[in-house]
Amino acid sequence: MQPTALMRATEPIYHIGAAYYFEAATVERGKQAGLDGFRFYFLGRGGVLGDVEADVVRAAFGYFEPSLLAKMWNTAKERVEVSPRDVARLYMDCAHEYGRTKLTGIDGLTEFAAAAGKVIAAVEGASMPLFAAFRAEPVPEDPPAAAIHQAVVLREMRGSAHLLAIAAVGLSSAVAHAIKRPNDVQLFGYTAELAPTVTDADRGAWERAEALTDTLLAPAYEALTAAEADALVTGTAAMAAAIAT
């Protein structure tokens, strides 16, 4: 399977890798740590970068309106007694537990995780700090947790490469977000006054960024054998079906 076709066949990873974000069990773990669901998301996902300024997290996340991200990041840090890295590990543990709840008993998870790991390892990671930080986190040994972990890292890999591509074509992340998620502009902090205007030229640039993202990641997917590519596709489909139930 060609790399682009393989990326299209595994697109459900975008949803699989984020499925635990606001699950009831995740939100409850956050409450126990002193954080609401939204602040747990920001500090948990961004905490892999360490105890950094909000602008650093904004640069790695993209998309969010800067003052919203700064408020969530800074107030989240104020509400906990542990470091952002500790919160990040707690957040990733929520992903692992979600995998154990949803994916236990599914065939092919070991093969999926191995194939995903090969793709992840093949990416240099330059200009992709959030992906690199997630990649540095240890992968659990049990297949359900390992599979969801690698899905999370693959999601961050694609997202980081896409931010790089967006910058390369001259789009702001706010405009890119408005194109990809037009119904979520306000959720990401853009009020009517702040919402970006999107032109046809912007949409054309976004399409070029999508193609460039594929180009950036294609060499990593080319590292897979035919059997490994099949494992990545079948594992993705099985995980997506299990999470949908």
What lies within 8 Å, CB to CB, of 40 at 6+ separation is 26, 27, 29, 30, 33, 76, 87, 91
| pLDDT value for 215 | 98
| pLDDT band at residue 158 under the 50/70/90 scheme | very high
Query: 10 is written with which tokens?
Result: 């595994």
Find the farthest-apart pair of alpha carbons in the chain and give their distance in angstroms, rounded: 51
Q: What is the pLDDT of residues 13-55, one digit of tens each?
A: 999 999 999 999 999 999 999 999 999 999 999 999 999 999 9
Query: 85 is written with which tokens?
Result: 């890295």
The secondary structure element, H or E, covering residue 108 is none
| pLDDT value for 193 | 78
0.95 surpassed by pTM: yes
